[in-house]
Amino acid sequence: MKLLYQTHSPYARKALVFAHEAGIADRIEVVHHETSPTLRNEAVYAANPLGKVPVLLRPGLPALFDSDVICAYLDTLHAGPRLIPDQGEARWQALRVQAIAQGLGDAGIKVRWETVRRPEALRYPALREGYTEKLVTSYDWLESELDTDGALHVGHIALATALSWLEFRALPDFRAGRPRLSAWFDAFQARPSMRATPLSGETHD
């Protein structure tokens, strides 16, 4: 399988960290791409009409996107404990943490558009503030709601890769006043799956 990847994408890294945690990273060839709404990448568009990474190319089978779907597929390919619990409250906790993590990445990208990516004259401060608020209230939610003791799940992977990216891009700090979240994140960052997949590079618009 091939994974269309971008070294500074939290979502692409999420899929790859998931593969590492599932013990199947050696079945995936990482193919590097740059893509953005203002930099069309034909190879990515050929596989995903949204023009976004990650995309998982499977021999003889349709391409899979986005990161949620790729993780769900990868979870069917290994014999270890499911990283997406299939029943009970454990399932809903994993999925809601994943949803918050996805939202952190989405809001962080919006904040970046309104701070560094959009030409200065086109930036809209009210939008930057609105998306910053979503980041901050989500950080607070995680401080109280994140399950830090139980089994590893997809939400943890999505969250660690999102927080790592937010810090990498110097987006609003999630650490101050949130010792539980910070301690959990620091421990997660030390995992081999995270160490094998460092973020790097600049966004190309």
Ligand X SMILES: N[C@@H](CCC(=O)N[C@@H](CS)C(=O)NCC(=O)O)C(=O)O
Closest to ligand X by CB, 54 or 85? 54
Asked whether 61 and 73 are in contact (CB, 8 A), the reply is no
Closest to ligand X by CB, 25 or 178? 25
Q: Considering the complex, what minimum distance in angstroms separates the CB of residue 2 from ligand X? A: 16
DSSP assigned state of 118: S
- Give the interface with ligand X as residue ranges (CB under 6 A): 6, 9, 11, 35-37, 51-54, 66-68, 102
Q: Considering the complex, what minimum distance in angstroms separates the CB of residue 36 from ligand X? A: 5
When CB distances to ligand X are compared, the closest residue is 66
Closest to ligand X by CB, 53 or 160? 53
Closest to ligand X by CB, 15 or 178? 15
- Residues ≥6 apart with Cβ < 8 Å to 99: none
Task: Quote the strand ranges of 19-168, DSSP E.
Answer: 29-32, 55-58, 61-64
Closest to ligand X by CB, 25 or 66? 66
DSSP assigned state of 39: B
Per residue, the 3-state secondary structure of 128-175, as one string, reads HHHHHHHHHHHHHHHHHHCCCCCCCCHHHHHHHHHHHHHHHCCCCCCC
Q: Considering the complex, what minimum distance in angstroms separates the CB of residue 76 from ligand X? A: 18
Q: Considering the complex, what minimum distance in angstroms separates the CB of residue 137 from ligand X? A: 20
The residue type at 203? T
Angle between helices 125-145 and 88-112 (to 10 degrees): 150
Q: Considering the complex, what minimum distance in angstroms separates the CB of residue 125 from ligand X? A: 22
